[in-house]
A and B are shown apart, each in its own frame.
Chain A
Amino acid sequence: MAQFSRTWWGQRFIAALEQFTDPARLGRGRSYASGGRILEYTLAKGTVAARVRGSINPYFGVYKEPIYRTTITIKAITAGDWTKVIRQIASRADLVTKLLMNEMPDTIEDAFSGLGLHLLPHSERDFETSCSCPDWANPCKHIAGVYYLLASALDQDPFVMFELRGLSRDDLHAELVRTPLGKILASALTSDDVPVEPVESYYTLPTKEPAAVVASHKEFWTGPKRLPAPLATASQAGVPALLIKKQGDYPPFWHKDVSFISVMEELYDRVRTKNRQMK
C-alpha cells in the first residue's frame, strides 16, 4: 500500500497512531486528507482545529454536503519538561545540525526518553478528539483525515510535532537561545519567503553588441587572447550527483515515494554513459 508520507518521521507518526487505533478506520481517512476535503485547519497550543467537508450519506439522513468541525488535542509536555528536553537536544551537535537542515533526527527520542518522556504519542490517553459528524466511530473518517494531513505537515516541518506537544514557536525560540548550540538553531528558524523569479526568455537571451569596435583583422579572426589551457580529464569519476546530495532527500517539490536522490543518480548516470555525445 502506498505510503502517504514519505519521510520516516511522518510515517512514524502514522505508525504510532496505528498502535492504538483501528488501522482500517485510519485508512479510510487517507482519501479525506487530499482532494480538498479539509477546507482549513489551525494549530494552536497543541490543538488542531479543522473544518472538514463530509459526504452525502442518506443512511445518516445527510442530504447535502455538510461541513464538520473536527478537533484533535494531544497531551502537552509541561513547560518545565520542555526546558529540560531542549537543553538535552542542544547538548548534541548531531541533533541540532539535523534540525538546522530541517530534518527530524532519527535519534530524537533519545533526548526525550532520558527524561521519561515521549515525543510521539504512544497511547490513547495522549489524544483527545472530537468531531461534529454523526459517525460515532473513533476515529471517524474526518479525524483520520486530519491525522494524515498532520503526517504530511510533519514531512515538511518537523517542528510541527513540537507544537503539537505544546511548545509554540516563540517558546521554542526562547528555550533554544539559552544554550550556545541552541542559539545557532534559533537563528535559522526564521525562514524567508523566496520570491518568484520571472524570466524573459527560456535561455539566456543572446544580445547584440552595439557598433562593436573590432581591434584588428587578426583579432577578429583569432581572438584577443590565446585559448585557456584545457583542463586535463580526471582519471577517476567524481561522486555522482554530489551537487544535489548536499540538500537532503525528498525535497518539498517531490511528491513521490521513491527517493529523489536515487532517481537523480540514475538520471546523471544515464546522461554520462548513454548519451552518445558524452561518450
Chain B
Amino acid sequence: MHIIHGTWIPDDTNEFIQKGAFYLWVETDVPVSTSRNRTGTVHPRHLAHTALATFLMEKLGLQEPVSGALARTLCLKYFLLPTVAGKPSPSFELLRYMDEEEPMEFDLAPWQICCYQVPDIITALNDIHFIALNAAEDFQLGADILFWHQYSQAIKGIIAKDQYLPAQKYREISSPSINRGATTKGKRAKNSSSFELHPAWELLSDTYETTIQRYVAAMPGVCTAGLNSPDVGAALFDKESLLRHFSEYLLNNIVTGTPFTAKFDQQIAGTLLYGCVYPYRPALLQASADSLEDYKHWLAWRANLTKAHTEAGFTLCFRLEEASPTDIDNWQLHFLVAARHDPSLKLSLDEYWYLNPRDRAEAARPFGKDFEKNLLLALGYAARIYPTVWAGMATDHPAGCRLTLDEAFAFLKESAWVLGDAGYSVIVPAWWTPEGRRRTKVRLKTSLRSPKGAATVGPGYLSLNTIISYEYQLSVGGQVVTEEEWQQLVNAKTPLVQFRGQWMELDRDKMQQLLQFWQTHQHEESEITLLDMLKIGTEAEDDLEWEHDQSLRDMLSRLNDKNAFAPIKDPESLQGTLRDYQKRGVAWLQYLESLGLNPCLADDMGLGKTLEVIARMLKEREETGDVPPTLVIAPTSVLGNWRKEIERFGPELRTLVHQGSTRFKDKQTFAEACQKHDVVLTSFALARLDEKLLQGLEWHRVVVDEAQNIKNPQAAQTRAILKLAAPHRLALTGTPVENRLRDLWSIFNFLNPGYLGKEAHFRKAFEMPIYKDNDLTRSTTLKKLVEPFILRRVKTDKRIIDDLPDKIEQKMFCTLTPEQASLYEAVVKDVTEQLNEAEGIQRKGLILSTILKLKQICNHPAQFLQDGSAFTTERSYKLQRLGEMIEEVIESGESVLVFTQFTEIGSALERYLEQNKHYNTYYLHGGTSVARRERMIAEFQDPETEPSVFILSLRAGGVGLNLTKANHVFHFDRWWNPAVEDQATDRAFRIGQRKNVFVHKFVAMGPMEERIDTMIEDKKRLSSLVVGTDESWLTELDNDTFKDLIALRRSAVLE
C-alpha cells in the first residue's frame, strides 16, 4: 500500500524574494532496502529514484518527454517526522495497513526523502485527487495532500473572482553614501537610505482572509515539516505564514505565467502594470521620484479600495416595483439600506428623507456612523456598476429612480444580477423567480390508455400494461393557450408583457421555436412508457411541462411522497406484527411493483427489511393465490438468518435453500422442486456457479439482498444475476447508495435497465461533473431521477423514532462452517462419554469447560485450535457477517461497539478490522494503560473523528466508560447471564444517548447457543433460575437436558 504525501517548502534564502516549491513523496509499507544508508537518516519506507519515477508514471499518469527524464528531476528533501527508537513511525494512514501501534510518545527528527517537484500545482493536485478516488486498493492520499488540494481549489476560486490587484512592494535599502572629494578625512560616512520598488500582486478579499483562518485551523502538522537541509535545531513552520507564502507565490505564479498578446503588452508598456506582469523583463527606465510618487498614489488607491468594502455599517439594497398595466413605462427602483449586523433591519430612503433631522439621526443609528456620507459613496459605487442610479440622484433626497419598460427589463435580465453579485441586495418581483420566468413551455398532456385489444379499464387503474399516451399543447404560466394567443405574444415588441394579469418575460426566439415544434407535432399521438416519462420529466424540466390526468397525477405525487402511503394491515398469515413504518414500506413496495417499477429498499440496518419482504410475499399470496417462487440471493452468511426469519414470521412460505454439496444439480429436478416452493434462497457464489440452473426458470421476483455485492457491473456474478428473468426485481441494501455513483448505476442497471443510460454515458453525464467539477445541478438532477425508486429510512428519522424502542435487540443467526461443525461434533462426542462418569465438582468443571470449548468453536476455529491459523471469514460465518454489518454501519457514518469475552477474539478482531477492512479501530482490554484508555475514549467520542469501531471485553464494560457515540452494539459471543450482558451494554452507552441503539447478538444456529438462548428467553420471563453473575446455573441442569442442549442439529449446517 502506498500513501501519497506532499507539501510546500519555501527555499532557504535570506533574499528579499523567497520562492518555494511543492514537493510530492510516496510512503510505502514495505521497507525499501537501503544499502546506501550509511548515515541512517534516509527514510526507510518511501519510494525513491526510479521506483518513485515509475510510480508517478504508472499510477499518476505523469509523462516524461525522454526516457529517464523524470527520474533526473527528482530531488532530495528532508521532513521532520515522528520518530520512535530511531525509526520514523508510519503515517496515520499507513498504520492501518501495518502491524504497528500508534506511538504515544515520539520525537521529531529529520529524515531524508526523495521528492518530485510539482509544476502547475493546482492542476496537478486536482488530477491526483481525481485519480485517487478510483484507485483505493493501490494507493491512498495522505491528509496533507487532501489539505493542499482543497486549499488550492479555494485559492483558485478566489482568483477566478478577480479578487487581487497589482501592487508595489517598498523595500528600504540603506547604503553608505559616497564621499565627495577627498576632504572628508575624519568625518564619518553618512548612511543615506534609498529604496527599491518591486512589482507584485496582492490578494484583497474577505473570502481570502476567512479561508486562511479556517484552513490554518485544520492544517496537519506534517504540512509544515518540510526542510531543505537537516540543520541542527530545525523546526516546523508556522502554519499561517506558510499558507500565506504559498498563496502569494501561487497568485504571482499564475498571473505572471498567463500568456498575453503583443497588443496588450503595448497597452501596458511604461506603466506600473508592465512590471507586475513581466517581473523578469528589464523595466523601462523611470525617474525614481516619479516612481515614488506613483507608489504613493497606488497606496492611496489601495487604501480607498480597502475602505470601500469594509467601512459602511450597512449594505445597499434595490427593490424593483412593477408598473401597472396601464402605465407600462413607470417602473420604480427603490433604494433601501439593510444593517450589516442584522440584514432584516431595513430602511427605505423614501422614509428616511421624509423625517426631520433629529429623527433622521435616530433612524440612521443602526446603520453605522457617517451614515449619509457612506450612503452617498455606496450609491456612487453602485452607480459605477449600474449608471442609471445617477438619474435617481439628481436631487438632495435620493430615494429611487424611474425606469421604462425596456430599462426595467434590462435591469431584471442583467443589472440585477450584476448588482447582486457585487454584494448589493436586490429584490425583484415574485414572478421573476426562476420558476416564474420559465413560463412558456411546450406541454405534454397525458392520458392513460389500455393496450390495444384489451377491455377498457376504468379510470384510475394503472398497471404494468397500461400505456401512457400524450399530446402536445402550448402553455403559458401553467395555462393552455391557443395558437393565436401564442402568436400574439410572439408579435409583441416588448420583452416584458402583461399576460392575463401578470407580467412575464418573453423569449421571442424560443417561443418561435416552440411554436414551430408544436405545429409539426400537434397531430401526432405518441406513447411513452412510465419509466421514460419519469426520466424525461426530470431531465428536461426547463422546457417541458406535463399535464397529467388525475390518475397519473395521483401516481406521481405518491411516488414522491413516500409517507403518503397508507400502511397495509398485517397479513393474516404473519406470525408477529409489523411496525408502522414497516407497513408503509410494504405498501410502497406493493405500489411500485404494481406500476412495473423495480424498487430499492435501503432502510438502515436493523430496521427490518427482511421482515418487510416476507410480509410482501405473504400478502401477495393472500391476494392473488398461486404465485411462482421468489428467488432471494444473499451472502452465504445471511442465508441462515433468512431461513430463520421466514420460519419465525411466515412459516406458511415454503422455503428451499439451494446451498451446499447436497443441493440440486440437475435442471429438471431443480425446476420441479422450485415449483413446489415459495421462496428459493441461494448465495451470490452459487448465482454465478449455477447460473444455468437458475436461468430459464419462471421466477416471480428476484430479490438481491446486500445489493452492494452487485456493484461491479463487470463481475461474473453481477452478469449472471442480470440474466435472470422475472417481472419483478428488488434490491435491498443498508448503505446509502446515492453516495457511490458507480455502485448506484450498477444497482439501477439491475433494477431498471436503461433508466440511467449506458455506463459510459452515465460517467460523462453525471459522475465526472459531480466528482471532478463539483457540479451541483447534475447532482440534484441525479437525486431527483433516483428518488422515486429508493425508500430509505434511518434510525434518526423523527417519523419512525416513535415506532422504535430505545434499545432494539436483534438476533443474528449464523450457521456453522463445515470445519466448525466437525470440531463441534468431536467435542460433543467426547463430553457425552465423560459426562456419564463424572460427579460433583468434577462434573461442574466438565460442563463449564465444555461450554467454553463450544463457544470458542462457534466463534472461530482458530480460537479453539490455538494453532495460529488464519483468522479468516471463510472459517466462520459469524466473523463474515460481523464484517459485513460493521461495513454497513460505518458506511452510514455511524460508530460501533463490539463486545467479546475472549481476549484472543478481541485482538484478532482488531487486527482483522484494522488491516483487512481498514476501519479506525480501538481495542480496550485489561492490559490497556489508563492513559491510553482515556485517549482512546476521548478520540472515539470526538465528533470530528470518523466513524469507528470500539472493541471491548465484557468485563471492561464496567466503570466510567462513556461511549455514547456508538449506536450499534454487537455481542460477538454471549455471556449466558443476561443480567451481566445487559448491564455491560447499558452502562456503556446509556448516558447522554439521544439516538436509538441497536443491539445485535450473534447466535450460532443449531448448536447450543440457539437453545440456550431460547432457554434464557423463557427464563427471563420467570426470572427465577438465573441468579448471580456467572454461568454456573448451567451446571444445575441434569445430564440429559445438558446433552440435549449441546447436540448439534443438522439444520445448523447449510452444507
- Complex interface: chain B residues within 8 A of A228 (CB): 214-215, 218
Binds A, one of B299-307, B581-589, B905-913, B963-971: B299-307
Q: Which of B363-403 contact A (CB under 8 A)?
A: 370, 372-373, 376-377, 379-381, 383-385, 390, 393-398
Q: How far is the CA of A216 from the CA of B418 in the complex (A)?
A: 48
B902 within 8 A of A: no
- Complex interface: chain A residues within 8 A of B394 (CB): 92-94
A224 within 8 A of B: yes
Judging by beta carbons under 8 Å apart, are A232 and B380 in contact? Answer: no
- Complex interface: chain B residues within 8 A of A193 (CB): 296
Q: How far is the CA of A217 from the CA of B101 in the complex (A)?
A: 11
A274 within 8 A of B: yes
Of A188, A218, A254, the residue contacting B102 (CB under 8 A) is A218
Q: How far is the CA of A198 from the CA of B10 in the complex (A)?
A: 22
Q: How far is the CA of A115 from the CA of B775 in the complex (A)?
A: 61
In whole Å, how far is B191's beta carbon from the nearest beta carbon of chain A? 15
Given contacts A199-B171, A228-B215, contact A248 B296 (CB under 8 A): no
- Complex interface: chain A residues within 8 A of B270 (CB): 255-256
B160 within 8 A of A: yes
In whole Å, how far is A84's beta carbon from the nearest beta carbon of chain B? 15
Binds B, one of A74-82, A129-137, A265-273: A265-273
Of A219, A222, A239, A272, the residue contacting B160 (CB under 8 A) is A272
In whole Å, how far is A188's beta carbon from the nearest beta carbon of chain B? 7
Residue picked from A93, A201, A204, most chain B C-beta under 10 Å: A93
Q: How far is the CA of A129 from the CA of B252 in the complex (A)?
A: 52
Given contacts A235-B776, A243-B162, contact A227 B150 (CB under 8 A): yes
Of A202, A207, A278, the residue contacting B198 (CB under 8 A) is A202
- Complex interface: chain B residues within 8 A of A1 (CB): none
> Smallest CB-CB separation from B378: which chain A residue?
A97
Q: How far is the CA of A171 from the CA of B775 in the complex (A)?
A: 61
- Complex interface: chain B residues within 8 A of A245 (CB): 384-385
Given contacts A248-B384, A255-B271, contact A227 B393 (CB under 8 A): no
Of B162, B259, B396, the residue contacting A181 (CB under 8 A) is B396
Judging by beta carbons under 8 Å apart, are A90 and B18 in contact? Answer: no
Given contacts A240-B162, A267-B277, contact A223 B143 (CB under 8 A): yes
Interface string of A167-183 (1 = CB under 8 A from B): 00000000000011100
Judging by beta carbons under 8 Å apart, are B242 and A206 in contact? Answer: yes
B503 within 8 A of A: no
> How many B residues touch A, CB cutoff 8 Å?
124
Judging by beta carbons under 8 Å apart, are B217 and A209 in contact? Answer: no
> Smallest CB-CB separation from B5: which chain A residue?
A221
> Smallest CB-CB separation from B235: which chain A residue?
A208
A61 within 8 A of B: no
Judging by beta carbons under 8 Å apart, are A194 and B299 in contact? Answer: yes
In whole Å, how far is B387's beta carbon from the nearest beta carbon of chain A? 10
B298 within 8 A of A: yes
Interface string of A227-270 (1 = CB under 8 A from B): 11011110111111111111110011111101000010011101
Judging by beta carbons under 8 Å apart, are A241 and B198 in contact? Answer: no
Judging by beta carbons under 8 Å apart, are A202 and B18 in contact? Answer: yes
In whole Å, how far is A173's beta carbon from the nearest beta carbon of chain B? 15
Given contacts A231-B157, A270-B260, A274-B258, contact A246 B376 (CB under 8 A): no
B172 within 8 A of A: yes
A276 within 8 A of B: yes
Given contacts A100-B373, A202-B169, A221-B91, contact A278 B267 (CB under 8 A): no
Given contacts A98-B380, A223-B220, A272-B160, contact A218 B308 (CB under 8 A): no
In whole Å, how far is A26's beta carbon from the nearest beta carbon of chain B? 25
Q: How far is the CA of A227 from the CA of B215 in the complex (A)?
A: 7
Of B18, B220, B381, B397, the residue contacting A205 (CB under 8 A) is B18
Judging by beta carbons under 8 Å apart, are B301 and A247 in contact? Answer: yes
Judging by beta carbons under 8 Å apart, are B774 and A232 in contact? Answer: yes
Given contacts A93-B396, A217-B103, A247-B304, contact A196 B17 (CB under 8 A): no
B309 within 8 A of A: yes
- Complex interface: chain A residues within 8 A of B296 (CB): 193-194, 196
Binds A, one of B46-54, B117-125, B999-1007: B117-125
- Complex interface: chain A residues within 8 A of B774 (CB): 230, 232-233
Judging by beta carbons under 8 Å apart, are A218 and B939 in contact? Answer: yes
Judging by beta carbons under 8 Å apart, are A204 and B244 in contact? Answer: yes
- Complex interface: chain B residues within 8 A of A207 (CB): 237-238, 241
> How many A residues touch B, CB cutoff 8 Å?
86
In whole Å, how far is A119's beta carbon from the nearest beta carbon of chain B? 18
Q: How far is the CA of A223 from the CA of B216 in the complex (A)?
A: 9
Judging by beta carbons under 8 Å apart, are A211 and B373 in contact? Answer: no
Number of A-B contacts (CB under 8 A): 290
- Complex interface: chain A residues within 8 A of B1036 (CB): none
Interface string of B764-775 (1 = CB under 8 A from A): 000000000111
- Complex interface: chain A residues within 8 A of B384 (CB): 245-246, 248
Of A98, A204, A210, A277, the residue contacting B121 (CB under 8 A) is A277
- Complex interface: chain B residues within 8 A of A180 (CB): 357, 372, 396
Interface string of B156-179 (1 = CB under 8 A from A): 110111111100011110000000
Judging by beta carbons under 8 Å apart, are A97 and B376 in contact? Answer: yes
Judging by beta carbons under 8 Å apart, are B264 and A211 in contact? Answer: no
Q: How far is the CA of A246 from the CA of B264 in the complex (A)?
A: 23
A91 within 8 A of B: yes
A125 within 8 A of B: no
Judging by beta carbons under 8 Å apart, are B258 and A206 in contact? Answer: no
Judging by beta carbons under 8 Å apart, are A206 and B254 in contact? Answer: no
Q: How far is the CA of A228 from the CA of B153 in the complex (A)?
A: 12
A212 within 8 A of B: yes
Q: How far is the CA of A239 from the CA of B370 in the complex (A)?
A: 28
- Complex interface: chain B residues within 8 A of A96 (CB): 376
B480 within 8 A of A: no
> Smallest CB-CB separation from A237: which chain B residue?
B160
Judging by beta carbons under 8 Å apart, are B93 and A232 in contact? Answer: no
Q: How far is the CA of A221 from the CA of B172 in the complex (A)?
A: 40
In whole Å, how far is A96's beta carbon from the nearest beta carbon of chain B? 6
Of B16, B154, B161, the residue contacting A238 (CB under 8 A) is B161
- Complex interface: chain B residues within 8 A of A243 (CB): 162-165, 204-205, 305
Given contacts A92-B395, A205-B245, A226-B218, contact A217 B102 (CB under 8 A): yes
Judging by beta carbons under 8 Å apart, are A197 and B89 in contact? Answer: no
Of A94, A205, A231, A241, the residue contacting B162 (CB under 8 A) is A241
- Complex interface: chain B residues within 8 A of A197 (CB): 170, 299
Q: How far is the CA of A140 from the CA of B108 in the complex (A)?
A: 79
Of A198, A230, A240, A274, the residue contacting B172 (CB under 8 A) is A198
Interface string of B539-575 (1 = CB under 8 A from A): 0000000000000000000000000000000000000
Judging by beta carbons under 8 Å apart, are B217 and A277 in contact? Answer: no
> Smallest CB-CB separation from B419: which chain A residue?
A239
- Complex interface: chain A residues within 8 A of B418 (CB): 239
In whole Å, how far is A75's beta carbon from the nearest beta carbon of chain B? 29
> Smallest CB-CB separation from A277: which chain B residue?
B122
Interface string of B126-165 (1 = CB under 8 A from A): 0000000000000000111011001001101101111111
Interface residues of B (CB under 8 A from A): 10, 16-18, 20, 82, 89, 91-93, 102-104, 106, 108, 120-123, 142-144, 146-147, 150, 153-154, 156-157, 159-165, 169-172, 195, 198, 200, 204-205, 214-215, 217-222, 224, 235-239, 241-242, 244-245, 248-249, 252, 254-255, 257-260, 264, 267-268, 270-273, 277, 294-301, 303-305, 308-309, 357, 370, 372-373, 376-377, 379-381, 383-385, 390, 393-398, 417-418, 421-422, 773-777, 935, 939, 944
Supply 19 further A-B pairs (C-beta < 8 A) apart from A100-B377, A212-B235, A244-B165.
Answer: A97-B377, A180-B372, A194-B299, A201-B17, A203-B17, A204-B244, A205-B18, A206-B242, A206-B245, A214-B221, A220-B82, A226-B218, A245-B384, A253-B294, A256-B270, A268-B162, A275-B259, A277-B122, A278-B160
What 7 pairs between A and B have smallest CB-CB spacing?
A94-B393, A221-B92, A223-B220, A204-B244, A252-B297, A253-B297, A253-B294
Task: Identify 12 residue pairs between A and B in the complex whose beta-carbon atoms are under 8 Å apart, listed by A's number.
Answer: A96-B376, A97-B383, A203-B244, A207-B241, A208-B238, A217-B89, A217-B103, A222-B143, A251-B298, A266-B264, A267-B258, A275-B257
